């Protein structure tokens, strides 16, 4: 039996200002820092001892991981950062205010962009100055792997190879793992490990800074799941 903990980053500055974020590297808000510190206290209270941590290459998730590990006295454990755990790329919506987008395109369209499994957002051109192609942290990637915008399906398809190659083998060996990532990269992993349908995943939400604890058997079946709050 292995423990797997998902933690969505604490509230970010753009969660607070209600802007589409995706791959834009915004910081935690003060409330987000408090949420991440509280997650550390909850993990300590729960007594979960981790062997390995994973996070994305985005500041809000990395900092959340560090606050959570510091609060549970395990800041020393090995950690791996991967772009594959990044938030879904929100394409040309990145930076826009969600309420203003709903006024412009309608609530229904914005809801479909945010939560449908396979509808892509409007794409960001690779020549746009905000393209991830201009960001040094993605310089080692095949340019074809750098998205101009992702739906949950595409997000899942880039998260799962990392899960299969890096994370699942460790869980099968009985290691306890924490993954600090993002609302939609964690929804993709949740869909995969809980076998949730394309339709039902639309209603699954992750709260900021709230650890979700799974017990997994050696076949990676979910034996139990609980949220710490
Ligand atoms: O803006 C984003 O990147 C995500 C997460 O904050 O938003 P949503 O919940 O709308 O997918």
183 C-alpha to ligand 1 centroid (Å): 7
Active site residue 66: no
Looking at every residue in the chain, the average pLDDT score rounds to: 97
- Residue 15 annotated as part of some ligand binding site: yes
Model confidence pLDDT, tens digit, residues 124-140: 998 999 999 999 999 99
Quick check: 64 pLDDT over 90?
yes
The mean per-residue pLDDT over the stretch 216-221 comes to 97
Model confidence pLDDT, tens digit, residues 65-81: 999 999 999 999 999 99
- Residue 90 annotated as part of some ligand binding site: yes
Has residue 129 been placed in a domain?
no
The mean per-residue pLDDT over the stretch 177-200 comes to 98
Active-site entry in 31, 70, 79, 87: 87
Has residue 137 been placed in a domain?
no
Instruction: Please report the DSSP string for 55-87 in residue order.
Output: E-SSHHHHHHHHHHHHHTT-TTS-EEE-GGGSP
- Which residues, 6+ apart, have CB-to-CB distance to 59 below 8 Å? 25, 26, 27, 28
- Residue 14 annotated as part of some ligand binding site: yes
Domain count along the chain: 1
222 C-alpha to ligand 1 centroid (Å): 26
> What is residue 126's predicted lDDT score, i.e. its pLDDT?
86
Model confidence pLDDT, tens digit, residues 110-119: 999 999 999 9
Has residue 36 been placed in a domain?
yes
Sign of torsion, CA 144 62 190 22? negative
> What is residue 122's predicted lDDT score, i.e. its pLDDT?
97
Range of the domain at 177: 2-87+151-227
Q: Work out the percent of the chain whose per-residue pLDDT is above 90.
A: 98
Residues having CB within 6 Å of any atom of ligand 1: 15, 20-22, 87, 90, 114, 183-184
- Report which DSSP code applies to 2: E
Active site residue 87: yes
Has residue 135 been placed in a domain?
no
Has residue 132 been placed in a domain?
no
Has residue 207 been placed in a domain?
yes
- Which pair of tokens denotes residue 37? 């510190």
From atom 2 of ligand 1, which residue's Cα is the shortest distance away?
21
The residue whose CB lies within 8 Å of the most ligand 1 atoms, and thus the one to mutate among 11, 16, 19, 20, is 20
Torsion-angle region of residue 109: left (phi > 0), alpha (psi -120 to 50) or beta?
Answer: alpha
> What is residue 102's predicted lDDT score, i.e. its pLDDT?
98
Model confidence pLDDT, tens digit, residues 5-61: 999 999 999 999 999 999 999 999 999 999 999 999 999 999 999 999 999 999 999
Has residue 70 been placed in a domain?
yes
Has residue 81 been placed in a domain?
yes
Read off the pTM: 0.98
The CATH number linked to 160 is 3.40.50.1240
């Amino acid at each position: 039996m292995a423990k797997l903990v998902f933690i969505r980053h604490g509230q970010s500055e753009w969660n607070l200002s209600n802007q589409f974020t995706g791959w834009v590297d915004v910081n935690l808000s003060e409330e987000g820092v408090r949420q991440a510190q509280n997650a550390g206290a909850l993990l300590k209270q729960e007594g979960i001892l981790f062997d390995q941590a994973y996070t994305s290459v985005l500041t809000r998730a990395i900092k959340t991981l560090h606050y959570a590990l510091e609060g549970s006295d395990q800041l020393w454990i090995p950690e791996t950062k991967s772009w594959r755990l990044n938030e879904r790329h929100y394409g040309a919506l990145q930076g826009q205010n969600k309420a203003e987008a709903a006024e412009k395109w309608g609530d229904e369209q914005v809801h479909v962009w945010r939560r449908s499994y396979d509808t892509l957002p409007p794409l960001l051109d690779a020549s746009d100055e905000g393209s991830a192609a201009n960001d040094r942290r993605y310089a080692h990637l095949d340019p074809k792997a750098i998205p101009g915008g992702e739906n949950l399906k595409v997000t899942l398809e880039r998260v799962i190879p990392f899960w299969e190659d890096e994370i699942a083998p460790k869980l099968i060996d009985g290691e306890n793992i924490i993954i600090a990532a993002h609302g939609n990269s964690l929804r993709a992993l949740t869909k995969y490990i809980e076998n949730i349908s394309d339709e039902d995943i639309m209603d699954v939400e992750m709260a900021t800074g709230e650890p979700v604890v799974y017990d997994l058997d050696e076949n990676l079946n979910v034996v139990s799941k609980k949220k710490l709050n």
